[in-house]
Structure 1
Amino acid sequence: MFRDLSRPIETGMPTYPGDPDVTLAPDATHEADGYATGELRAGTHAGTHVDAPRHTLPDGETLDEVGVGSFAFDAWLVDCRPLQPREPIAPGALPEPSRLDAEVDLLVLRTGWATRWGTDRYRDHPYLTAAAAERCRELGVGVGLDAFGPDPTPTGSTGQGESMGTGEAEPAGTDEPDGTPAHDALLGDSLPIVENLRGLDGLPPRFRLYAFPLRLRGGDGSPVRAVAEWEG
């Protein structure tokens, strides 16, 4: 069986604070030109996407330097719910090393934040503690999330999608880490990060996840068509 875990790329979709807005508009049309093409303007981390090590590490690998097979994952679904806004995810929420099969190379963390997509609350997602990111690094597994990323997201604007928001964002906690420590720990070992997943409810505990990026020369990240596959 297959399931699309990707967010549609569309004009006005939510973006990480400070990232470019997304626009998808007609260029040529059948009526005027006899064929159709469109123009897409977006950041490299729009929608469901993968991060390359270059994203947070100046000397990290770029997308075109990472082997294409590195984007086909043996995934383990980890249900972290229930979680509060901006709650840290500690190592205890992750599988014990003795439970992980050798084939697993990606932990897909279901935080429940996918239901907040398109609202101001989406940026209040839980995040990995430094110890949890270090646990992943020791296990040699990357992470996928139904959220903006493994580090806290600033409480500022979410881009064009903010117009769909409801309520106000939670204030950042005084103990939240600065910078991108979880990104750095994972990307420093070339471990994958897949962000803004959707459709995680009802997936089996183990599945294959395909998240192939565009072949961007020098790319620090790329939108993907993330697809889960499992035996029915």
Structure 2
Amino acid sequence: MIYDISRLLNANTPTWPGDTPFSYNLTWSQEETGSVNVGQITTSCHTATHVDAPFHFKDSGMTIEQLPLELFVGDALVVDVTTKGEITPKDFDGLDLSEVRRVLLKTETWTDDVFPEKIPIIHPDLGPFFLKHGIELLGVDLPSVDPLDSKTLDTHHSLLQNGVHILEGLTLTDVKPGMYRLTALPLKIEGADGSPVRAILEG
């Protein structure tokens, strides 16, 4: 079974306050061209379901086209943390992480088309914890892995320092905890700080 874990992109898609909203416009209609419809999109790189490149929060960090594609394809463990206001290494007690490279956190905090006012805290201690267990990708059903008002982005930096990449804006409502095969490939945009993705789970 395939689960589409991407948020819908349209004129109502929530965007980080002050960032570029998503829009799609028909540049040429079939009536005008005699053959095809041709549209254009405008969007922030961080709208809806997207990958953060390290360059997003560190000037010397890799840009989106430099990230290894194998990060975004392969087995992923969905972990249910829906009751948690703060997510720490203790929330992984009892889970076998020995074969896990990708973790997706299901918080169910952001389930509508309104940008959230508050999200759970993803503790920076997860960076070294994930490194210890060989985890290289963290996905969340949130617009950010840091508090919405954070300027220091401690969790972003902790994850980067420990070799963990970031996938944000997932929708995991219909997905039960467990192992799946993830595909969430970013676009090959030269020099970009992030990219929208079409993320799916198979399982």
TM-score where L is the length of structure 2: 0.90
8 Å CA contact 2:63, 2:193 repeated in 1: yes
Structure-2 residue corresponding to 1:50: 51
Whether the 8 Å CA contact 1:29–1:37 is kept in 2: the answer is yes
Are positions 1:94 and 2:92 aligned together? yes
Does 1:150 pair with 2:150? no
C-alpha distance in 2 between matches for 1:137 and 1:201: 29
1:205, distance to aligned residue in structure 2 (A): 0.3
Equivalent residue in structure 1 for 2:170, among 172, 182, 197:
197
- Counterpart of 1:222 (choices 195, 199, 202) is 195
Instruction: From 104, 121, 124, give the equivalent of 1:127.
Output: 121
Query: Aligned pair in 2 of structure 1 residues 149, 95: CA closer, same or farther (>3 Å)?
Result: farther
- The yes-or-no answer on 1:15 pairing with 2:15 is yes
Q: Secondary structure at the match of 1:39?
A: strand
User: What is the identity, as a one-letter code, of the residue corresponding to 1:101?
Assistant: S
In the TM superposition, what is the alpha-carbon distance from 1:80 to its structure 2 partner? 0.6
TM (normalized to structure 1)?
Answer: 0.79
Question: Cα deviation per residue 1:18-66 (whole Å; 9 max; x = unaligned)?
Answer: 3211111111111222210111000111110111111112111112112
The residue type paired with residue 172 of structure 2 is G
In structure 2, C-alpha distance between the alignment counterparts of 1:181 and 1:5, rounded to whole Å: 26
Does structure 1 conserve the Cα–Cα contact (< 8 Å) formed by 2:108 and 2:172?
no
Partner of 2:105: 109
Aligned residues: 201
- In the alignment, structure 1 segments of 5+ residues that lack a partner are 155-176
Counterpart CA distance in 2 for 1:31 and 1:95 is 60
2:48 counterpart SS class: coil
- Distance, in Å, in 2 between the alignment partners of 1:73 and 1:193 is 15
Contact 1:48–1:197 (8 Å) recurs in 2: yes
Residues 78 and 110 of structure 1 are in contact (CA less than 8 Å); yes or no, is this contact kept in structure 2?
A: yes
- Alignment check: 8 A CA contact 1:123 1:148 kept: no
- Cα 1:210–1:24 shift into 2, 3 Å: same
Q: Which runs of 5+ in 2 are unaligned?
A: none
Compare the two structures and name the one with the higher helix fraction. Answer: 1
When structure 1 is superposed on structure 2, of 209-218 and 192-201 the one drifting more is 192-201
With over 3 angstroms needed to count, the CA separation of the structure-2 counterparts of 1:15 and 1:218, relative to structure 1, is same
Q: Deviations over 1:110-160 (max 9, x none)?
A: 111132x3225x241112112233322332322111111210113xxxxxx
Residue 154 of structure 2: which of 176, 181, 192 is its match?
181
Tell me if the contact between 1:151 and 1:182 (Cα under 8 Å) persists in the aligned partners.
yes
What root-mean-square deviation, in Å, do the aligned CA atoms of Structure 1 and Structure 2 show? 1.9
